[in-house]
Amino acid sequence: MPCWVDGQPGESLPVVDRGLAYGDGLFETIAVRRGRPLLLERHLARLAEGCIRLAIPGDLALIRSELLAFSAELGEGVAKLLLTRGDGRRGYAVSQPLQPRRILLGSPPPQYPPAHAEQGVRLHPCRTRLAEQPLLAGLKHLNRLEQVLARAEWQDAEHAEGLMRDLSGRVIEGVFSNLFLVRDGRLLTADLCRCGVAGVMRAEILDLAERMGIPVQVRDIALAELLAADEVFLCNSLYGIWPVRGFEGHGWPVGTLTRKLQAPIRKLLDS
């Protein structure tokens, strides 16, 4: 699988890179089909927002051109883009001038069981809670220790994902997915103003629902509201939509609205 560093083939980094030392950077995980990166504009828009909020001077035109060339070489699989702040001296202070580092890693397409999309998955109740930090909320920054700890909570094949809540107990997302509820024909997803990752597939589904005339609410969601939902599903830019059929002692059917959204998303990922 290919690996590029700053536009050139390479597999090593300086030990003084701030992404390694502090998680000081951003990343995007991009599905590649027939040499083409899917949802590229959404990935770049989120990356651009992250660059603004973290004050990393990312060259989006250069990143775009490298992603297109890298995807063409990869053909089929996943392109992971990492943008770090670059090298730095000891300490948190940022060295000037900044020279951000671009890393592209290729991997094969993930082999998720087809049953996840067709029959649905069960959620593990994660004990690890998401810290509330509005300055970083929504960003896909390099510090993923909360997700690492949450994913380590289960090893069984019964659970394909975990439910993550914030410190106040609000329902936020999965460990590597965003979460949607259906109640009385309305689509609900968590407000990510305090924590969580604003996924590109989440954004795609919100736009799709609007075009299809499906009422949508983005707001705080309590655990009791999740348990009372008519349908629940997860989404991710690599697998699309997975219905959720169970969480602890609660269960949901694979409903009509989930299927209605799942069909065009599957077509998008297969295109």
**Residue range 99-113: mean pLDDT, rounded:** 96
Domain end residue (candidates: 72, 107, 142): 107
Q: Which of 107, 127, 146 is the last residue of a domain?
A: 107
- pLDDT given at position 263: 95
Q: Is 44 left (phi over 0), alpha (psi -120 to 50) or beta?
A: alpha
Domain check: are 239 and 122 in the same one? yes
CATH number of the domain where residue 150 is located: 3.20.10.10
103 and 118 part of one domain: no
Proportion of the chain above pLDDT 70, given as a percent: 100
| Rounded Cα distance, 97 and 87, in Å | 10
User: 158 catalytic, yes or no?
Assistant: no
Which of 29, 84, 189, 258 is the catalytic position?
A: 29
Domain range holding 90? 3-107
Active site residue 29: yes
Does residue 71 carry a pLDDT above 80? yes
Q: What is the pTM of this model?
A: 0.94
Q: Is the pLDDT of residue 271 over 80?
A: no
Confidence of residue 1 (pLDDT cuts 50, 70, 90): confident
Judge if 98 and 121 occupy the same domain: no
Q: Considering the chain, what percentage of its residues have pLDDT values greater than 90?
A: 93
Asked if 173 is an active-site residue, the reply is yes
To 5 degrees, how large is the angle CA 239–CA 245–CA 249? 140
The single residue of 28, 66, 84, 140 carrying the catalytic annotation is 140
Given the residues 66, 173, 204, 231, the one annotated as active site: 173
Per-residue pLDDT at 160 exceeds 90? yes
For residues 103 and 123, membership in a common domain is answered with no
- Quick: pLDDT tens for 165-192: 999 999 999 999 999 999 999 999 999 9
Quick one: 85 and 118 in the same domain? no
User: How does the average pLDDT of the chain come out, rounded?
Assistant: 96
pLDDT in tens, 229-255: 999 999 999 999 999 999 999 999 999
Query: Is there a single domain that holds both residue 152 and residue 240?
Result: yes
Query: Final residue of a domain: which of 79, 107, 135?
Result: 107
When divided into structural domains, the chain yields a total of 2
Q: Residue 202 has what pLDDT?
A: 98
Q: Which residues contact 172 (CB under 8 A, 6 or more apart)?
A: 130, 164, 165, 166, 179, 190, 192, 195, 196
CA distance 259 to 118: 9
Look at 96 and 189; give whichever has higher pLDDT: 189
Residues 72 and 118 in one domain: no
The reported pLDDT for the residue numbered 27 is 98
> Do residue 101 and residue 139 come from a single domain?
no
